[in-house]
Structure 1
Amino acid sequence: MTAHVEELQFQAETRQLLDLMIHSVYSNKDSFLRELVSNSSDALDKLRIEAFRDKDLGVDTSDLHIDLEIDKDARTLTVRDNGIGMSRDEVVDLIGTLAKSGTAEVRAKLKEAKDAAASEELIGQFGIGFYSTFMVADTVTLVTRKAGETTATKWESSGAGTYTIEEVEGAPQGTSVTLALKPADEEDHLHDYTSEWKIRELVKRYSDFIAWPIRMQVEKTTGEGDEKTTTLEDETINSMKALWTRSKDDVSDEEYTEFYRHVSHAWDEPLEVIPMKAEGTFEYQALLFVPTRAPFDLFMRESKIGIQLYVKRVFIMDDCEELVPEYLRFVKGVVDAADLSLNVSREILQQDRQIRAIRRRLTKKVLSTISDLQANEPEKYATLWSEFGRALKEGLLSDPDNVQTILGLSSFASTHSDEKPTTLADYVSRMKDGQDTIYYMTGETRQQVENSPHMEAFAAKGLEVLILTDPVDEMWTGSVPEFDGKAFRSIAKGAVDLGDDEKSEEQDAKKEQFADLTSWMAEALSDDVKEVRLSTRLTTSPACIVGDDFSLSPTLEKMYRASGQAVPKTKRILEINPDHALITALEKAHAEKKDTEQLTETARLLYGTALLAEGGELEDPASFAKLLADRLTRTL
């Protein structure tokens, strides 16, 4: 009976990506072996834990290993494991398509990459390392049988736009990937993947720490002269020493880098290595890494959160969410606990006292490491903050025990400098005599905030204002009251008292002078505003919109609406500048009881322009545009 071979098309984005990778850019071809060995290691981890949980699975876990097989005559290299294997659907989903968001983004960035190093970083950043095999192979053949199933699946492709898939019988449990290597380059002996020494070198460099034996058949010669014989023997070519059990002095930077790449499936280098060892009530070892680059899915819902959990060097699970808070999801690594059960589940972990204690200690250690970078290695800290600061600030909402610590680690854009962000400690050190408030303003962009009418009085008096443009800033500023005893205050909310006693009498006089106008405007604009009052924060603009101390900002309202949440209409306060020519003319016209309809139009235009200036949205943009056009026409 002839097996049915089905030919399928790669996903369009996958085809384009494969074409880029086959013909491009990326010079470090050696890394393909690390990707395949890492995948095999994951498959063995998953089989061992699945066999432990499912006693009826019926698999032999006594000799789990990875085989590397070289055929010099056929120019093939095979990486084989006896791990968990894959079903047909899993093969199509995981290998035949890119089952991740953001593929269009990686294609665009790969095209823009200026050099091989940049391309390599991007390939790892988007988690598509398997496809690196097509840079060394003309054809890739994958045969896999899932544990517990009887039929295997064969997948094959040359990366040219299609792949074939068929059922096969008699294949062993696990997965083998066979690479039909590209023709040999006589001048490039450094990339001869049919060479035993080359494979040894790659395993030593990239995969020496893998916990499973990596075996290769090697030639062994015994005897001398006519009695000399050559045989093939299996040899384990990796040390299998867990890095987290070794002291930092005994591990090279290169070993840490390769282990980081293994556990994180990334291709960048770690920005910081954090080894930990705890003894006493709860014994555990941990090896954590702060990446140099943020993964593309850091702020996506499907982003993987957490680090690998081991118990006495036995792999338990990937991405253990209970070991680190969500705002530290960029931290990668392993935790090896001594006293947990091997049969632990995610549900049990959520209630486990030991896991909660480990989580607290890991969190404090990571935050203290960031603090050390901030104090002693400003360039590293700047890199960390630019990549992960937005995620770290989520802790201001979710981790009340560490709010002040996170605030101390944070950096913010500020009117003090156009280029360098400031820490809150530095802001406090620059506060003027008598100032007890940390001023800030939220918005969508720095330009929008800097040009806001709310900023005018603060700029005139030289008062520094934090410029907060991350979406998370809209959230935490409403729940974090102070830093170092200094209260946070939005310059776009509430009344502003900048302590100018000299002008208080003059302001009282103007309040009386403009009382009729503000009362009339409040009534004319009653559908939109709750109050009209004179402003002490404006110097050059005629008007601005001000919220109550606890009202939603316009940007936050937009965020809620964009997420599908209904936001009730909020009436806010219109402040007018009594020193602006438009306002004085409006006051005079109102006092002289001029055309009421024209005055009402002016008030509506004044409100609309103030709303636009702060980044708000007009309820009826078309009517506002028509009103403005009519008014401009009459002035010509």
Structure 2
Amino acid sequence: MRILRALLLAVSAIASGVIAQDSAGVPKEKHDYQSDVARLRKIVINSLYSHRDVFLRELISNANDALEKLRLTSLTDKEVLSGAEDLNVTIKAYTDEDGNGRIIIRDTGIGMTPEELTANLGTLAKSGTTEFLARAESTDTTGTGNLIGAFGLGFYSSFLVANRVYVASLAAKSAHNPEPVQYVFSSGADESSFEIYSDPRGSTLGRGTEITLVLKPDAVEYTNPHKITELVDKHSSFSSAFPIYLYTQRTEQVPIDEDRSSSEDPKAAIEDIDEDEAIIEDISDDTEEEKAPETKSVTVEEWIHMNSQPPIWMRDPKSVSEEEYKSFYQATFKDYEEPVAWHHFSGDSGSGVSFKAIIYVPSHLDDSYWQNPLTSSSRDIRLMVKRVFITSDLGEDALPKWANWVKVVVDAEDLPLNVSRETLQSTRFLKQLRSIILKHILQMLAHIAEEDSEKWEQVQKVFGNVFKLGAVEDTKNREKLVGLTRFATNQRNSTSLDEYLGNRKKGQKQIFYLADMGSKPEILAKSVFIEKLHARGYEVLLLTEPLDEIFVQNLRMHKRVPFQDVAKAGLRFGDEDVSPEEEKEEEKALTEQYKPLLDWLKEEVKEVVRDVIISNRLVTSSCAVVADMMGYTANVEKMMSASQSGPKSPMHEFAKKQRIMEINPRSPLIQGLLRRVEQLPTEEEGRDLEAEEELKEVASVLIDGALVRSGFNVPDSNEFFTIIDRVLRRSLGVSETAPTDTTVKPAPPVDSEPLNLQDPLDVEWPDYVPGSLRQPDSPFQHEEQLFWDVEEIDEEGNPVKKLHRASEHDEL
């Protein structure tokens, strides 16, 4: 908030507020409200407005109308501007001597005559604005100007917070009223009549209207400047083209000027000094510390400019600088960080409602965004009508979750509001507004992606997962949102799905992907599942975010090209039909060759996997575990386990068991295992139980290692590491049966005595004195402290002189 220069306002605007006390001897005209007005007035006060905070919005709007009327009138009659130079609105809130809260709202607008006070305030919803526009229409070159609405109805919102209201007004000078007189309107919240009388203070306003609210006891909070600031910022920071000032007081500490009096006449002392006599001043070596000056508290009065931020959406986008856009964003949405991008446009809703809007892309997401997945409402859409804030709640027409992070200001020229101007009468415009905002968001993001790679990288970092969420939820805009998503691959750091399809190989009819949430792309690129794909030059999407798997499962295909999870069985490259006959014959031969090992492994690992087959995806790894077409991959299994806390369904357990073990026939380990299995004696030859047991241990390590490398959990981690321990012992020549010393100290006997512990909160800690815990400084001493001698030599290498120890010289 910026502090404005001191305002030269009329003193009456500041010191007023005690009109009632000064009007005791003034003749007053008492008027009864018109028929049924008193009853309707109670409805306005008690039922019409849902929040009494709106009273300030209504009174500021009325003040703006009065100023705008003055401006329009001055186009043809300059005399109306006399009496007060500044066109502004001032607000002063305070507590009087009797403890009553008061708010004074003053404008230097057109003012009102006593007849107009009676007509405009004594008649409910009497629209002085409407009548004025009818008269000014022929001379107002701007059409309706900046007028907001009817005076009468908004004025009565004053009684939401006030027991009594005084309205002092002095009409502007004109040919019809060359000598206007200041009059006062007075009425109470529970009274059925009002009074009009000449202001006992005289014509103190210069021109305009001053409304004094005597607050109810439960409305004293409105005397707090922070509360006034909050209401103006929310409702009226842009409603008026004229400046709004708030009176504030603050306390400052200022130094006390010391009285320095001398008994001697300074002039006489100067005359006594001999011109030729030297003056010698003694300067002490020890300078005395300057004493801190004594201070006193003083009250500083200031007028703070409340609406210094202009409504930049009303201007031509070409005339608004980048700094203005950033400053407006930070001031309006209270964000200390600058926005990433913005889009300023005007349009028509299609139903005849024209509007102007600015959409901002913030540089960060609130922490609560992902913590409340079901919350989709946004409070950062500011819907205004003629610069008056109406609502941030779009109800059923709120933006979807994927778009509710945007910051939007929408200002419509005219909308069908309810009588209190708090909500819209019709939701048709809100439905249209939702579609318009979403359309422009997508256009803006697509433009950034094409034109500014650096900015787009920043957008992706913050909102990349949001776009994936939108593609899942918003089927209507799915295609556009999919175009905004980016993924890392084994060949590049970021690519769109369209770019991926542009890089596909001949015959490739699927989009390869591998998902492992929480992993890093560079680690996932080394996975056993993509060894052959990578070796052959195929590109694989590396999905590391929790939303990635959900995105793929919901999308299923992009531009009719299906996704294929390379962690599942049935991997096809697309060129199998054009493979040489030699490759096909080789595959058949390998299957036949490894049949003994496949049959033996199926029996040994049947509790973990459903089948064991020859792999077409492995290059260097010996084996891997993949999910069958109806089974869970390791990533899906991880997600399902995290989301299901209760008993698992039979289908869940069935899907977990649909695993297939693939072995690499070119791996030396698998080839060696095949030889060992073939060498096992049959039943007729006499079984070698020791050799069988050793091979079973190898099979156990093999399958458990394959599970870990494939992302699954091993069935029994303790058993797995026990076997690893035996293998390590064997490789180091340590006896497998050598026992480990398991001697431990036993626990003490059971303590039958009750615990008597002091609550840490009840402990009294001594006051901490800064520096008291430090050890006193002592010179560094070390038993092995080193010293060395150096000497200076001349050009021939002869010593010049001996120096002292280097430790005694700072320059060394």
Report runs of 4+ in structure 1 exceeding 6 Å deviation. Answer: 30-33, 49-53, 65-71, 147-150, 168-171, 232-237, 343-349
User: Structure 2 vs 1, CA of residues 295 and 514 (structure 1 numbering), >3 Å: closer, same or farther?
Assistant: same
Match of 1:537 in 2: 617
The correspondence for 2:593, drawn from 513, 530, 534, is: 513
Contact 2:511–2:564 (8 Å) recurs in 1: yes
Q: Does 1:482 pair with 2:557? A: yes
Displacement of 1:372 in angstroms is 1.0
Contact 2:377–2:404 (8 Å) recurs in 1: yes
Letter in 1 for 2:408: G
SS class of match (1:299): helix
Match of 1:301 in 2: 372
Counterpart mapping for 1:223-238 below 5 A: 238=307
Displacement of 1:255 in angstroms is 3.0
SS class of match (2:603): helix
Corresponding pairs, count: 464
Match of 2:675 in 1: 588
Q: Does 1:598 pair with 2:694? A: yes
User: Structure 2 vs 1, CA of residues 406 and 50 (structure 1 numbering), >3 Å: closer, same or farther?
Assistant: farther
Q: Does 1:404 pair with 2:479? A: yes
* Structure 1 segments unaligned to the other structure (5+ residues): 1-29, 34-48, 72-79, 83-146, 151-167, 180-198, 219-231
Match of 2:338 in 1: 269
Match of 1:546 in 2: 626
Letter in 2 for 1:292: S
* TM-score for the superposition, normalised by structure 1: 0.63
Displacement of 1:55 in angstroms is 5.5
SS class of match (1:472): helix
* Structure 2 segments unaligned to the other structure (5+ residues): 5-43, 62-88, 95-102, 106-159, 164-215, 249-300, 681-687, 734-812
Q: Does 1:335 pair with 2:410? A: yes
Q: Does 1:281 pair with 2:368? A: no
Hey, what's the Cα distance between the residues in 1 that align with 2:302 and 2:474? 56
Displacement of 1:260 in angstroms is 1.7
Displacement of 1:149 in angstroms is 12
SS class of match (1:421): coil
Hey, what's the Cα distance between the residues in 1 that align with 2:530 and 2:45? 60
Counterpart mapping for 1:166-245 below 5 A: 172-174=220-222, 176=224, 210-211=238-239, 214-216=244-246, 238=307, 242-245=311-314
CA offsets 1:354-391 (integer angstroms, 9 cap, x no match): 43333233222211211111111111111111121111
Contact 1:52–1:343 (8 Å) recurs in 2: no
Q: Does 1:366 pair with 2:362? A: no
User: Structure 2 vs 1, CA of residues 267 and 50 (structure 1 numbering), >3 Å: closer, same or farther?
Assistant: farther
Which protein has the bigger helix share?
1
Match of 2:148 in 1: none
User: Structure 2 vs 1, CA of residues 58 and 474 (structure 1 numbering), >3 Å: closer, same or farther?
Assistant: closer
The correspondence for 2:641, drawn from 561, 586, 598, is: 561
SS class of match (2:585): helix
CA offsets 1:398-417 (integer angstroms, 9 cap, x no match): 11222222222222111223
Letter in 1 for 2:507: G
Contact 1:454–1:492 (8 Å) recurs in 2: yes
Hey, what's the Cα distance between the residues in 1 that align with 2:717 and 2:549? 25
Counterpart mapping for 1:122-137 below 5 A: none
Hey, what's the Cα distance between the residues in 1 that align with 2:104 and 2:217? 17
Displacement of 1:311 in angstroms is 5.0
Q: Does 1:310 pair with 2:383? A: yes
Match of 2:431 in 1: 356
Percent identical across equivalent pairs? 26
SS class of match (1:372): helix
User: Structure 2 vs 1, CA of residues 484 and 380 (structure 1 numbering), >3 Å: closer, same or farther?
Assistant: same
Letter in 2 for 1:609: G
Hey, what's the Cα distance between the residues in 2 that align with 1:81 and 1:597? 96
Q: Does 1:611 pair with 2:707? A: yes
User: Structure 2 vs 1, CA of residues 606 and 52 (structure 1 numbering), >3 Å: closer, same or farther?
Assistant: farther
Displacement of 1:339 in angstroms is 4.1
Letter in 1 for 2:666: D
Displacement of 1:177 in angstroms is 5.3
The correspondence for 1:575, drawn from 646, 658, 662, is: 662
Larger radius of gyration: 2
SS class of match (2:555): coil
Match of 2:251 in 1: none
Match of 1:4 in 2: none
Q: Does 1:433 pair with 2:506? A: yes
User: Structure 2 vs 1, CA of residues 473 and 523 (structure 1 numbering), >3 Å: closer, same or farther?
Assistant: same
The correspondence for 1:248, drawn from 306, 317, 321, is: 317
User: Structure 2 vs 1, CA of residues 504 and 352 (structure 1 numbering), >3 Å: closer, same or farther?
Assistant: farther
User: Structure 2 vs 1, CA of residues 619 and 69 (structure 1 numbering), >3 Å: closer, same or farther?
Assistant: farther
CA offsets 1:310-335 (integer angstroms, 9 cap, x no match): 25244343364733221123311123
The correspondence for 1:633, drawn from 720, 729, 733, is: 729
User: Greater relative contact order: 1 or 2 (C-alpha under 8 angstroms, separation 6 or more)?
Assistant: 1
Hey, what's the Cα distance between the residues in 2 that align with 1:410 and 1:619? 37
